[in-house]
Amino acid sequence: MSFDTIASYMPLLLQGALVTVQVTALSFVISTLLGLLLALMTVSKVAPVALAGRSIVNVIRGLPIIVQLFYIYFVLPEFGIDLTAFQAGVIGLGVAYSAYQAENFRAGIEAIDPGQVEAAESLGMKSAKVMRRVVLPQALRIALPPYGNTLVMMLKDSSLVSTITVAEMTRQGQLIAASTFDNLTVYTLVALLYLALSLPLTFMLRRVEKRFAIGGKR
């Protein structure tokens, strides 16, 4: 494990790290938007909408993430939907995690005192505005800690897209290790690089949580 070998591996691994960050960030955005939509569906008073929301969440949660990735990357082309490995990875991870996001958001929404909704309704607000101005701002604060945890999990689980050839960090490590047989150095570097991403992220999230807690400094 000499300095020279490490230096020779680093460019590719850092390239991979960049892709890892991109995949994580994009799929996090997708999972957030889709998760929010699914959460709003599951708490809807319109029964068929709620049922549809719950069903989608249950199906997504019932499938291994890898199977979802394979499906999007290998099966969708048969229906004329061709995606690059990167696109398939981002969408697959985003969809897979939207179910967990939906559950987080739903728990937050259901934790809100019904008296809040009644107070908002009594001001003449329509239900969409009650949701937007009163329920969601409070629910999202409650959902913030699990939301942050989800981001860290997604950072780690972004390594799954290596299985569909996306050249993120784990994949780059595999490629280098396969050609050099230097497993020890390569995977130690990969592990350290994941920690270099996840530990600061975790630390940062704790601070954000504190800042946004209700009654906290704003």
Partner 1 sequence: MITIEALHKKFGETPVLKGVDLRVERGEVICLIGPSGSGKSTLLRCINGLERYDDGIVEVLGTPVDRDKKSIHEIRTQVSMVFQRFNLFPHRSVLENVMEGPLHVQKRPLAQVREEAQALLDKVGLGHRGDAYPQQLSGGQQQRVAIARALAMKPKAILFDEPTSALDPELVGEVLKVMRNLAAEGMTMVVVTHEMGFAREVADKVCFLHDGRLVESGPPEQVLGAPEHPRTREFLRRILDSGDAP
121 binds partner 1 (CB under 8 A): yes
Q: How many helices (H) and strands (E) does the chain have?
A: 9, 0
Least distance to partner 1 from the beta carbon of 83, Å?
40
CB 102 within 8 A of CB 42: yes
- CB closer to partner 1, 141 vs 156: 141
Site mask, partner 1, residues 122-141, x = CB under 8 A? xxxxx--x---xx--xx--x
Least distance to partner 1 from the beta carbon of 38, Å?
23
2 binds partner 1 (CB under 8 A): no
71-79, 83-91, 112-120, 169-177 -> range binding partner 1 (CB under 8 A): 112-120
83 binds partner 1 (CB under 8 A): no
Give residue for tokens 């739903």.
106
- CB closer to partner 1, 140 vs 201: 140
Amino acid at 129: K
Amino acid at 159: S
Q: Which of 110, 1, 112, 122 is nearest to 50 (CA)?
A: 110
115 binds partner 1 (CB under 8 A): yes
Residue 192 burial (C-beta neighbours within 10 Å; 0-12, 13-18, 19+): exposed
Cα–Cα distance for residue pair 104/127, rounded to 1 Å: 21
Q: Which of 166, 171, 204 is nearest to 190 (CA)?
A: 171
Cα–Cα distance for residue pair 161/181, rounded to 1 Å: 22
Site mask, partner 1, residues 32-71, x = CB under 8 A? ----------------------------------------
- CB closer to partner 1, 6 vs 145: 145
Footprint on residues 141-180 left by partner 1 (CB under 8 A):
141
111 binds partner 1 (CB under 8 A): no
Task: Tally the residues of the chain.
Answer: 218
- CB closer to partner 1, 4 vs 113: 113
188 binds partner 1 (CB under 8 A): no
Cα–Cα distance for residue pair 155/29, rounded to 1 Å: 13
Amino acid at 14: L
- CB closer to partner 1, 77 vs 216: 216
Contacting positions for partner 1 (CB under 8 A)? 113, 115-116, 118-126, 129, 133-134, 137-138, 141, 214-215
